[in-house]
Chains A and B, each alone.
Chain A
């Protein structure tokens, strides 16, 4: 990277996230002074007010401009969604991990104006007031979480429309639609008129916002001492007065157009997963090709612009989360996730030269934001996969790998058109969606092991002694594992009912109170239908419930079947006592459950069948249940960091796991339970019907030495291709570094599955003597980065 990029990157990395009160103060003032208008127009005017009055920032050396806050890593808040209390701010300021500095004047602003105005009036207050007692009890017990209690729906991704049409063009279409409204035959005409007017206001707002950057750039150019920089600033000014009002003409304008749109989405509301550009390689390809052909762009300049663009994402940590939401998603990452490769809308190989350029950028910048992934189709060349794997092997976790062909199957099964399915992909963590056409909302995590715990306890939460589930009997009343499963299914159905009732209420609350007219213009068919994104305006409308801990439940069921009913190694009452005592005084039973029972992830049919039963139970409970936006509920299986939070509220489980310990994550086996290597893990995971989910997450661990040669990369590529041929959705590799190995030395119990290549053979790391471990660690440091 050149000096400019290196400096921007360094500055960004050094900056500590800080809470900015600017947006909160502006929105408070707007709400306080506004005259009564319809809700969509009100929100549009609020959006315009924010963009007209927020600080505009252009940093030294920047080529792509615009910040959500007043400066990089100055993070705004959204009190209309969730108003942080002073106690929240203190926690944010002082917590050990994922902290946000809260300057004294921010605290003051919160104390004096923001909290007094918003207390009891935010969406969060509205949502909690609307929830039923069973919902609140289950939420408090950690049976599920709720995504929309602090952040707005979003979870969506751009398609290519912003590169084809500017907002002036959108405005013209809106005017035509307004003229065509039939107030006599269409009873919704007034609602549509208000929505269209709101969108039109948002067009003005985003164009004006870009103009403010153009003005600032010209002003900075006047005083810039360096003529090169002066030229750059004038160039920036020209770009910003062109896009996003008009469609971009070149590579630079295309990136800046997306960035303004991105800022618009994340300023309007605090959308989950921020926003993502989707198929960036395919979107940029025409501009890149044209630029090179006309001699107006070089690969080097394109690379520099992309690097500047990348750093903009890194400048934007997620808005500060608190409480359960912070626990389920404990990270600065805002989940903007850029996908490469995959298919074109007509089903051809989507890899192009920009794809490889982007992979270079990912490798060189090595940033945690934006997240990156490759969407791998059987049609994509091996060169693409192997280039990505050479980045993967460096061990910092990016990019992750998705099966483009199975994602198409998933989207088709949900009833999408084939071209929309091919234009879709994975975003956020692993969620499938039709880019630019879908509101695919993640609604919350579901704690599957906790539900099994309740099924073994007649619906009583062992932590509190309160009955929060249904009375389905206790473990000693079951005569075989089938009865255990019936009780599990009954509890699961109960909590899914409670959760979906809540979801539907929250959908309606957002539709009524918190429309998103700017975002709506980006997602088909909100504009044509004159209906908001949050009100079912999108072409497709899915609601996801994310199952967590399927490995832990599968192993627990397999252990119960094995130890209690088949081999009769312990009685049901003994198991019950052991679980209640967290295995204290019952170590022998724990060893039976943990070490002798079948485990998911070993291609062992006994455990894998248990996994499939849990999967089918979850699928039947959730899939197809309608939501108020005209779509349906679906399942996916991903954890973010929720498996840690859910583990902390779940007692000892029948797989031998102690109370409070993390659950298995995604569809990965229980930590340390997989002992037969990666092919067995993949075969176990592939038994699940991924095409009936909206995404699954699987993590595999490797030692860097396994992957250091070209041969290692080849083998890894073969693993990926084979797993995807078997129908797997997603795979990411955890290439363990020396640091991890040191951690494994200190805590061998949580790294029992860690295989390292010793020399000529491989062995479990924890089985090696300390001196040998040290030798491996020393070598790993050479092999790693």
Chain B
């Protein structure tokens, strides 16, 4: 039995690999990408998140919070993240369901039991399970147990990763998973550190490792104007440098601001300046550029 921390298990996931999938979102990530649209995935600890749609502004949670972390402001209830001790008193107190716990400590068997339910849909669609996050490599033992469990049950697996993990962890996942969705943000070391808080050498090395071991990889590139949009040439050069075994399929993910709201609900600040999503023409141009070099490129939404 292995335990892990997840923040969501979502069935009928159709954008995280082939077919109809059940996506398991690991909680905890060593990176802090400034544009992250799932900020609740970053901390490897339980958190509370406010649900404005259910909040009546009654103030009961403000009175109940032992840390004094919740204040009633003109715009509604607001939690200060610095003071919050994640004691979950607010979740228990609110009768309207205005606070939710983000994160659940689960056993591998529990997760597998949830995954097997949708086998009829996996079979019909060529789908399976996707382990993403967060960074699934950050909970290696848990990830490996889930991958083994799926393999025993004939379920196709995808690991959706930013590539932040030890060599051994990556290799152990590589022999167990059927497909990797691999995020590449930039190849520029300075910018990578600035935008994500972690060095670029680790994900680049791990991608090389996967490629060297003949693992199927789809590269996913978020395109953020003013952050990494100018680094596409570097990514292209790096991929071409991987030689004949390089991944052929690339998904371009245009930046969107739709995760911003969650920062507020978590009581956190959104650091990225207000940049607009890249325009369609720019994305098409980028797609052309990769196509010219023989990649199968799609723009995801």
A interface list, Cβ under 8 A from B: 587-588, 591, 595, 603, 676-680, 682-683, 705-706, 711-712, 714-715, 718-719, 721-722, 725-726, 748, 757-762, 766-769, 772, 775
A591 touches B256 (CB 8 A): no
The yes or no answer to B233 lying at the interface (CB within 8 A) is: no
Q: How far is the CA of A757 from the CA of B38 in the complex (A)?
A: 14
A680 touches B117 (CB 8 A): yes
Query: Which chain A residue lies CB-closest to B253?
Result: A760
B118 touches A759 (CB 8 A): no
Given A677-B10, A711-B14: A722 touches B121 (CB 8 Å cut-off): yes
Number of interface residues of B (CB under 8 A): 29
Known pairs A715-B14, A768-B53 / 19 extra A-B pairs, C-beta < 8 Å: A588-B95, A679-B11, A679-B12, A679-B20, A679-B117, A680-B11, A683-B120, A711-B14, A714-B125, A718-B121, A718-B124, A719-B12, A722-B20, A722-B123, A722-B124, A722-B125, A726-B120, A768-B261, A772-B258
Contact string against A for B residues 43-75, beta-carbon threshold 8 Å, 1 for contact and 0 otherwise: 000000001110000000000000000000000
A766 touches B53 (CB 8 A): yes
A-B residue pairs, 3 tightest by C-beta: A718-B125, A677-B12, A722-B124
Q: Which of B108-140 contact A (CB under 8 A)?
A: 117-118, 120-121, 123-125, 127
Q: How far is the CA of A678 from the CA of B14 in the complex (A)?
A: 12
Interface centre among B19, B52, B53 (most CB of A within 10 A): B53
Given A678-B12, A722-B120, A766-B53: A591 touches B95 (CB 8 Å cut-off): yes
**B301: which A residues are within 8 A, CB to CB?**
705, 757, 759-760
**B104: which A residues are within 8 A, CB to CB?**
none
Query: Which chain B residue lies CB-closest to A707?
Result: B14
**B10: which A residues are within 8 A, CB to CB?**
677, 762
Task: Report the tally of A-B residue pairs with Cβ distances under 8 A.
Answer: 80
Query: Which chain A residue lies CB-closest to B25?
Result: A761
Interface centre among A587, A591, A706, A767 (most CB of B within 10 A): A767
Q: How distant is B48 from chain A, measured CB to nearest CB, in Å?
A: 15
Q: How far is the CA of A715 from the CA of B125 in the complex (A)?
A: 7
B14 touches A725 (CB 8 A): no
**A718: which B residues are within 8 A, CB to CB?**
19-20, 121, 124-125, 127
A769 touches B261 (CB 8 A): yes
> Can you give 23 A-B contacts (C-beta < 8 A)?
A588-B95, A595-B97, A603-B117, A677-B10, A677-B12, A683-B120, A705-B301, A712-B14, A715-B19, A718-B19, A718-B121, A718-B124, A718-B125, A719-B124, A726-B120, A758-B258, A759-B258, A759-B301, A760-B256, A761-B37, A762-B10, A766-B53, A772-B258
The yes or no answer to B153 lying at the interface (CB within 8 A) is: no
**A761: which B residues are within 8 A, CB to CB?**
37-38
B interface list, Cβ under 8 A from A: 10-12, 14-15, 19-20, 37-38, 51-53, 95-97, 117-118, 120-121, 123-125, 127, 253, 256, 258, 261, 300-301
**B118: which A residues are within 8 A, CB to CB?**
679, 683
Q: How distant is B77 from chain A, measured CB to nearest CB, in Å?
A: 14
Q: B11 touches which one: A676, A721, A722 (CB < 8 A)?
A: A676
**B253: which A residues are within 8 A, CB to CB?**
760
B38 touches A679 (CB 8 A): no
**B121: which A residues are within 8 A, CB to CB?**
679, 682, 718-719, 722
B117 touches A760 (CB 8 A): no
Q: How far is the CA of A759 from the CA of B12 in the complex (A)?
A: 15
Query: Which chain A residue lies CB-closest to B22?
Result: A679
Tell me what chain B mostly uses at the interface: helix, strand, loop, or mixed: loop
**B11: which A residues are within 8 A, CB to CB?**
676-677, 679-680
Q: How far is the CA of A129 from the CA of B12 in the complex (A)?
A: 54
Q: B51 touches which one: A680, A721, A767 (CB < 8 A)?
A: A767
Q: How far is the CA of A175 from the CA of B122 in the complex (A)?
A: 61
Given A591-B95, A591-B96, A715-B125: A760 touches B120 (CB 8 Å cut-off): no
**A680: which B residues are within 8 A, CB to CB?**
11, 117
Q: How far is the CA of A69 from the CA of B256 in the complex (A)?
A: 57
Given A676-B11, A715-B14, A761-B37: A748 touches B53 (CB 8 Å cut-off): yes
A587 touches B14 (CB 8 A): no
**A721: which B residues are within 8 A, CB to CB?**
124
**A679: which B residues are within 8 A, CB to CB?**
11-12, 20, 117-118, 121
Q: How far is the CA of A405 from the CA of B124 in the complex (A)?
A: 17
**A719: which B residues are within 8 A, CB to CB?**
12, 20, 121, 124
Q: How far is the CA of A195 from the CA of B152 in the complex (A)?
A: 68
Query: Which chain B residue lies CB-closest to A758?
Result: B258
Q: How distant is A776 from chain B, measured CB to nearest CB, in Å?
A: 8
A759 touches B256 (CB 8 A): yes
Q: How far is the CA of A757 from the CA of B11 in the complex (A)?
A: 14
Q: How far is the CA of A655 from the CA of B97 in the complex (A)?
A: 17
**B51: which A residues are within 8 A, CB to CB?**
767
Q: How distant is B219 from chain A, measured CB to nearest CB, in Å?
A: 16
**A775: which B residues are within 8 A, CB to CB?**
258
A760 touches B53 (CB 8 A): no
Q: How distant is A607 from chain B, measured CB to nearest CB, in Å?
A: 14
Interface centre among B20, B97, B123 (most CB of A within 10 A): B20
Q: How far is the CA of A603 from the CA of B51 in the complex (A)?
A: 25
Q: How distant is A734 from chain B, measured CB to nearest CB, in Å?
A: 15
Given A718-B20, A722-B125: A587 touches B95 (CB 8 Å cut-off): yes
**B127: which A residues are within 8 A, CB to CB?**
718
Query: Which chain A residue lies CB-closest to B10?
Result: A677
Q: How far is the CA of A270 from the CA of B14 in the complex (A)?
A: 47
**A591: which B residues are within 8 A, CB to CB?**
95-97
Query: Which chain A residue lies CB-closest to B222?
Result: A760
Q: How distant is A47 from chain B, measured CB to nearest CB, in Å?
A: 50
Q: How distant is B276 from chain A, measured CB to nearest CB, in Å?
A: 12
Given A591-B97, A725-B120, A760-B253: A706 touches B14 (CB 8 Å cut-off): yes
Q: How distant is A753 from chain B, measured CB to nearest CB, in Å?
A: 13
